[in-house]
Homo-oligomer: A and B are copies of this chain.
């Protein structure tokens, strides 16, 4: 049985609305997942996340495996209880972070050998381990352990890594303990459409609760990312959720939805918030800019977030210039609200079958700066 229910399908593009049912409740898609790497979405309390509309957050298995450790989290009741978050959680598998360690990691058929970025200790994660760690964490959606592919990569390298990801995915599925947690496969394939199609077909043959596209937004031109979406999404079963990992900008979200993507995650709203870059319906705003020194307006006059309801650009600029913690807090709330509200607006537009209009207006608005 698939945990996904398709509710609306755009008549003019691949955009669609649906629901994913998990152990901790139902998620309306398309959805953006704020990133909570180390069992916290940086600078934001769980209740604030709920209030700004986050339906599900992402935790990073690699980080939690290294510190504080999945067994510690299990003994304290799982990740939900540990971090006081009652809604669904998706955990990645650690594959991307291990890949990012570069020379500190070695991939074999058996799994990934790597050194902790914290203390250099030698660690090992097999596909089975990745599942068992995520079972200990108690996330609602688990990801298979995958091998990532650098960009650019030759066809042989991409093909080898993609094939290994497929074998690991099958091992992950076999390792499941029947906890009711969902398991998603990851389509790799580099920038080779035929490898992507083939990987998708093999994963669908094995059978997962959802399918993710990995290895995109890794430095390639936007057009190439969209080409890979077009090459892959139509080959995934329409009755399963599609997740575009680690993506992206507001524009990426709109284009992803247009191409049929249901789920996204990215550090951009929170990381940019800490660096003073705010998202608005009219584009980006760099809060330290001198032009905001005396500006009594909210960041985005069309925004209903906590930050925009109560604070001026002048105050936010002051906090940022003064390196106050509250700058990170208020900016993160605003940016995450922007991302979640954008997804909600897309869900509404799809439900009313006006996603094409929505997309045109989204770009038209950006012609007037904030």
Which A residues form the contact surface with B (CB < 8 A)? 38-40, 42-46, 67-68, 72, 75-76, 82-84, 293-294, 296, 310-312, 314-315, 317-319, 321-322, 324-326, 328-329
CA of A148 to CA of B234, assembled, Å: 74
Q: Name A294's contact: one of B38, B42, B76, B296 (CB within 8 Å).
A: B76
Of all chain B residues, the one with the shortest Cβ separation from A327 is B40
Would B68 and A314 count as touching, CB distance under 8 A? yes
Given contacts A67-B321, A294-B72, A325-B328, contact A310 B84 (CB under 8 A): yes
Would A329 and B45 count as touching, CB distance under 8 A? yes
Given contacts A84-B311, A315-B39, contact A322 B67 (CB under 8 A): yes
Of all chain B residues, the one with the shortest Cβ separation from A332 is B325
Would B67 and A315 count as touching, CB distance under 8 A? no
CA of A76 to CA of B325, assembled, Å: 22
Given contacts A75-B294, A76-B296, A310-B84, contact A318 B45 (CB under 8 A): no
A44 / chain B contacts, CB cutoff of 8 Å: 326
A328 / chain B contacts, CB cutoff of 8 Å: 325
Would B43 and A315 count as touching, CB distance under 8 A? no
Most chain B beta carbons < 10 A, residue from A44, A83, A312, A325: A325
Q: How far does the Cβ of A69 sit from chain B's closest Cβ, in whole Å?
A: 9
A318 / chain B contacts, CB cutoff of 8 Å: 38-39, 67-68, 82
A325 / chain B contacts, CB cutoff of 8 Å: 40, 42-43, 325, 328-329
Most chain B beta carbons < 10 A, residue from A42, A43, A44, A46: A43
Q: How far does the Cβ of A97 sit from chain B's closest Cβ, in whole Å?
A: 14
A45 / chain B contacts, CB cutoff of 8 Å: 326, 329
Would B68 and A293 count as touching, CB distance under 8 A? yes
A43 / chain B contacts, CB cutoff of 8 Å: 325-326, 329
Q: How far does the Cβ of A75 sit from chain B's closest Cβ, in whole Å?
A: 6
Question: 25 A-B pairs, CB-CB below 8 angstroms?
Answer: A38-B318, A38-B319, A38-B322, A38-B324, A39-B315, A39-B318, A39-B319, A40-B319, A42-B324, A42-B326, A44-B326, A45-B326, A46-B310, A67-B321, A68-B314, A68-B317, A68-B318, A72-B293, A75-B294, A76-B294, A76-B296, A76-B315, A82-B318, A84-B310, A84-B311
List 20 other contacts, CB 8 Å, given A67-B321, A68-B293: A38-B322, A39-B315, A40-B319, A40-B325, A40-B326, A42-B324, A42-B326, A43-B326, A43-B329, A67-B318, A68-B314, A72-B293, A72-B314, A76-B312, A76-B315, A82-B312, A82-B318, A325-B325, A325-B329, A329-B329
